[in-house]
């Protein structure tokens, strides 16, 4: 049951990550405009924050979803 939970969690997290990457890649100006409506931020800082966040999110997916999922696959 826990392996199934991790599998679904992995799929959902990858979908969120992919949508984030696609939004930044193909709708960068719109996303930047929405964010700068609330706070003043430079384009360079915006990119650094988002690409850093994408990298951190990807790392957390691997550590907390992918590795335990594969470990459970090996055990069962």
Asked if the model's pLDDT at residue 76 lies above 90, the reply is: no
Q: Is residue 69 within 8 Å of residue 7, measured between CB atoms?
A: yes
pLDDT at 38: 93
Name the residue with tokens 């470990």.
71
Global confidence as pTM: 0.91
pLDDT at 8: 97
Q: Which residue range(s) make up the domain with 46? A: 2-75
Q: What is the 3-state secondary structure (H, E, C) of 21-66?
A: HHHHHHCHHHHHHHHHHHCCCCHHHHHHHHHHHHHHHHHHHHHHHH
Give residue-wise pLDDT tens across range 12-67: 999 999 999 999 999 999 999 999 999 999 999 999 999 999 999 999 999 999 99
Q: Is residue 69 within 8 Å of residue 10, measured between CB atoms?
A: yes
Number of domains in the chain: 1
Tell me how far the alpha carbon of residue 60 is from its chain's centroid: 9
């Amino acid at each position: 049951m826990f392996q199934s939970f991790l599998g679904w969690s992995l799929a959902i997290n990858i979908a969120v990550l992919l949508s984030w990457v696609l939004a930044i890649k193909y709708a960068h100006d719109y996303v930047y405009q929405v964010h700068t409506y609330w706070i003043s931020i430079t384009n360079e800082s915006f990119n650094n924050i988002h690409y850093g966040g994408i990298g951190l999110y990807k790392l957390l997916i691997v550590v907390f979803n992918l590795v335990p999922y594969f470990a459970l696959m090996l055990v069962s």
